[in-house]
Structure 1
Amino acid sequence: MRSISRLEKTLFRLQSQQACLAYAFAEIAGRPGPVVELGLGLGRTFDHLRRHLPERDIHVFDRVNRAYEDCQPDPALLHLGEIEETLPALASRLSGKVVLANSDLGSHDRELNLIVAAMSARLLPPIMAAGGIVMSDLPLPLDGFQSVPLPPGALEGSYYLYRAPA
């Protein structure tokens, strides 16, 4: 099997992310609860979330805000700093309420990805609502969570879906 280029890898990840987001939007329709975005980046995914989930509070966590001007989160819901500090600080407010979490923190550094995946897997479970959906660009070792098959349009290994225990 031929290896894929970085361009193809990025394309497949974005296509898979979009397919997973569409799946998640349908899964959480009619369920109350906030959304969490780990990793604002340039704000593209956040912009997609707010356009499709305009009635939801979307809490965004990142070290710094480098989002495009038209992709800025509500300052009251933007939590800057180390996610290992900022997310636990809101745990009591979010505990058991989050219906959708997107962890988009992966990089091209495999060792760092293992650390980041372990951090996400440690921080997300306490805030997730029963049956809530976790999406990630990295495989997450989420104890007790069910791995969800990817929807049509998503390529295996490009994005990952999990469901919190009911």
Structure 2
Amino acid sequence: MSRLNSMMRRLAAQAEGLEWGRDLVADLEGDFLDMGLGNGRTYDHMREIAPDRRIWVIDRALQCHQSCVPPEEDFLQGEAEDMLRKMAADGTRVALGHYDFGFGDKAKDVAEAARLSALIRDIMLPGGVLVSGQPLEGFEQVRGPSTVAPERYHFYRT
């Protein structure tokens, strides 16, 4: 499979997974969280599919497209560990989270996801959903949308 086709599959899995997750948590009162803003595509999609939810964003730097800048009060800039601890200390409760932190090195990315899993668990609501490009630990892995190949993306319930 070409890198272009792989990227298209990944982006489709993100969008379909977020929409699937949104529907599963429709009855939960909690915020949404985008972990890894990047250029803002996923955050922008979350805004579109969940306009009534507060969407927190964590990233080391604000380098997204100008149309995708989150409100200042919802953007937590810094290291993920510190920002997740801050959210937990502030009592933030998340119904739907999207995990997309990464360095571009698979082994390093998997290790970071495993390390951050406990901190993510601390802010998730029971019955919440995580949509992730990396495997997470300590959550119930579930089958995501039928349109997404099981090995393409990771889906969890809390």
**TM-score category (smaller protein):** over 0.9
Q: How far did 1:5 drift?
A: 2.5
Count residues in correspondence: 158
Q: Is the aligned partner of 1:104 residue 2:78?
A: no
The answer to whether the 8 A contact 2:19-2:49 is kept is no
Cα distance in 1 for residues equivalent to 2:143 and 2:29: 24
| Amino acid in the other structure paired with 1:31 | L
Q: 1:131 aligns with which of 120, 127, 133?
A: 127
The answer to whether the 8 A contact 1:106-1:137 is kept is no
Q: What is the match of residue 38 of structure 1?
A: 35
Give per-residue Cα distances to partners, 1:45-94, cap 9 Å, x unaligned.
10111111111111100000111111110110100011111221221224
| Amino acid in the other structure paired with 1:114 | V
> For 1:29, what is the secondary structure of its paired residue?
coil
| Amino acid in the other structure paired with 1:133 | V
Identity %: 33
User: Cα RMSD (Å) of the superposition?
Assistant: 1.4
Cα distance in 2 for residues equivalent to 1:9 and 1:106: 17
Q: What is the match of residue 149 of structure 2?
A: 155
Give per-residue Cα distances to partners, 1:78-122, cap 9 Å, x unaligned.
000111112212212245x21011101245312211222113312
| Amino acid in the other structure paired with 2:65 | Y
Cα distance in 2 for residues equivalent to 1:94 and 1:129: 11
The answer to whether the 8 A contact 2:25-2:127 is kept is no
Change (3 A) 1:133 1:36: same
* Structure 1: 5+ residue stretches without partners: none
Q: What is the match of residue 140 of structure 1?
A: 136
Cα distance in 2 for residues equivalent to 1:14 and 1:157: 14
| Amino acid in the other structure paired with 1:158 | R
The answer to whether the 8 A contact 2:36-2:57 is kept is yes
Change (3 A) 1:46 1:94: farther
| Amino acid in the other structure paired with 1:109 | D
Give the TM-score taking structure 1 as reference length: 0.89
Give the TM-score taking structure 2 as reference length: 0.93
The answer to whether the 8 A contact 1:15-1:153 is kept is no
Q: What is the match of residue 19 of structure 2?
A: 22
Deviation >2 Å, runs of 4+: 92-95
Q: How far did 1:152 drift?
A: 2.1
